A and B are shown apart, each in its own frame.
Chain A
Amino acid sequence: MTIAALNPNPVPAILPGSGGLRGALSDLFWRKPNVLLLLMLLPPVLWLGIVYIGSLFALLAQSFFSIDEFSGLINREFTLKTYGDLFQAANLDIILRTVTMAALVTLASAVIAFPIAYYAARYARGRWKALFYLGIMLPLWSSYLVKIYAWKLILAKEGILTWLLAKLHLLWVLDAWLSLPVVGGNSLSVSFTGTFIVFVYVWLPFMILPVQAALERVPGNLVEASSDLGASPGQTFRNVLFPLALPGIVAGSIFTFSLTLGDYIIPQIIGTSRLFIGQAVYSQQGTAGNIPLAAAFTVVPIVIMGFYLWGAKRMGAFDAL
């Protein structure tokens, strides 16, 4: 049997166009892919560029205005007086507290996330991998507020954690911790320790996923090669796994760090009465009506994140994205 016998209906080498507007558009988009790209990107660029970034700049511009302390009216003239107010000791205290908390939350998230991500990237297969993703994502499906209030109950003096520690006769450990200055308090739900625990819980998925993606890209034979060349498991971790996972850790830390810098709900519900940046912005623009100072406070996390991203880029964090 010849090929021609298999193909009894010869077709032309070039098919005719399908005609109509759709056909013409399809051909146009094929010939000029940039036209399609422009059409697809125009709406989100307009949204991001004008509505989103534009209003952000409008807010930031407010930080160069000042408030008239007697009338409470905003004086719309360029001044650096508001930034002078920002650098008062009480406000610097808020900034320092927030940055310290964000750094500690990031560090703890990285330490907790790494083994989980390592397991998922190296060992979990099939249904275990599905279970891993479900376990990481599931908390993200429920409301943020519900989770925080649930934690308030867990951490409260009458809560399940106190009950559990009492049953285990370990209540003295909790009491000893709570009696410490700064991190302690009346109960975990009104201490910085409680704020820290809830921050780590809420942002952990944002650390696990990028670290897992980075580890998944490390070929297994690099670990074997390191071991073959005489490196103990600890040396392999320090010299091969950690450097190769670092971009993922940095990418994850951008999430945990910036989200902690800006959050104002968690420290309000769980923690002490001392303010974080987000709460300061909230109270300045609301009850105090001092929009310029609120705007100046908003600039702080943006500047910190700017430096952080610049440093992260130098470490090659964005190669992994």
Chain B
Amino acid sequence: MTSAVSFQKASRHFGSVRAVDAVDLEIAPGEFFAMLGPSGSGKTTCLRLIAGFEQLTSGSISIFGERAEGVPPYRRNVNTVFQDYALFPHLNVLDNVAYGLMVKGVGKAQRHKAAEEALSLVRLPGYGARRPGQLSGGQRQRVALARALVNQPKVLLLDEPLGALDLKLRENMQEELKSLQKALGITFVFVTHDQGEALSMADRVAVFNDGKIMQIGTPEDIYQRPKTRFVADFVGSSNVLPPDFVQRYSGQHRWGSLRPESIRVGRAASGATSGEGVSARLVSTNYLGATTKLALDADGLRLHAIVPAGTTLPAEGEAVVLTFNREHLHLMDEPA
């Protein structure tokens, strides 16, 4: 099957800066694909390469089997939801949404009807006459989404679309985007630096760092089985364990990762009898609502544990014993 988007050794260098460096990537049609990474990792440049705002320095990109090099953005059947929405301030909401149809020469009545339908799709019916300046951030975001979807793109690109929204709205929009994508069956490519967002929405996630893809996989793969220290640390701030430490528990001299929620914290006195805990000292506790995050010091190794709220905790500075199931200790591919 033809990929929706395919990168072959795609590079975009700005002088000596390798924004995107020899990236290989296949995005399947109808997939909800997330590009996750810290700022400056090249994820947004990848998105702009698909949109056509940036041109490759080497390699190739094809969209549904067609080569995209040198094709200007206006000849790509790909639409973008911009980070700050980029709504046209001089047009009302309806004309903003109908813009793509207008430049394609669709008649006024017909494009306004399509725009109205797109607005109902994003649950903003009847907002057509307003100006973008009169809308809230969440509403503008929906208009931007409607403006892209009305063109029925082959691929929809979303550049940190939820970044400017407050937490509650962001969670609602996450669910909505996901159900919208399922209903429409359009390929979504979603750029974010928020690992929670990527894990909760995407079918597959690519983790970017320094212009390269560190790992591609399902959210579960990425979270449970990180291949490198970077992925383990960036996605869900896992505890990265050095090879010497890992050898004691698994017999293999490799880097390991252990999720903070896999660590059980017990008092030193009760844990000492079992004989197989890691003795540590509780440095600080951080109340997060549903959970509490503990910072621990195991002989100079900094570890984090997450325990459900309401657990009775030792006092800060007290000695504790950490236990975990062996199968939760994940060994990474990265050479020791």
Contact = CB atoms under 8 A, between A and B. Distances in A.
Contacts of B53: 224, 227-228
A226 interface: yes
B15 interface: no
Q: Is the interface of A mostly helix, strand, loop or mixed?
A: helix
A271 B26 CA distance: 70
B86 A221 contact: yes
Interface stretch (A17-25, A175-183, A236-244): A236-244
Contact of B88 (A225, A227, A232): A225
B82 A231 contact: no
A222 interface: yes
A222 B87 CA distance: 7
B234 to A, nearest CB: 27
A10 interface: no
A229 B90 contact: no
A219 interface: yes
Contacts of A232: 74, 103
A235 interface: yes
A224 B86 contact: yes
A230 B104 contact: yes
A221 B88 contact: no
B100 interface: yes
A244 B90 contact: yes
Interface string A198-238: 00000000000000000000010110111111111001000
A229 B102 CA distance: 10
A244 B87 CA distance: 13
B74 A221 contact: no
A229 B82 contact: no
Given A221-B82, A221-B86, A244-B89, A228 B51 contact: yes
A111 B86 CA distance: 27
B187 interface: no
Contacts of A235: 103
Interface in B90-110: 90, 99-100, 102-104
Nearest to A229: B100
B147 A229 contact: yes
Nearest to B75: A230
Contacts of B88: 222, 225-226, 240
B141 interface: no
B79 interface: yes
A244 B132 CA distance: 14
Interface in B252-277: none
Contacts of A226: 88, 99, 103
B99 A239 contact: yes
A232 B74 CA distance: 6
Nearest to A247: B90
A22 B103 CA distance: 64
Contacts of B79: 228-229
Contacts of A244: 89-90
A222 B86 contact: yes
B86 A230 contact: no
B147 to A, nearest CB: 7
Contacts of B78: 228
Given A228-B78, A228-B80, A231-B99, 11 more contacts: A221-B82, A224-B53, A224-B86, A226-B99, A226-B103, A228-B53, A229-B79, A229-B100, A229-B151, A232-B74, A232-B103
9 contacts: A221-B86, A224-B53, A226-B103, A227-B52, A229-B99, A230-B74, A230-B103, A231-B74, A231-B103
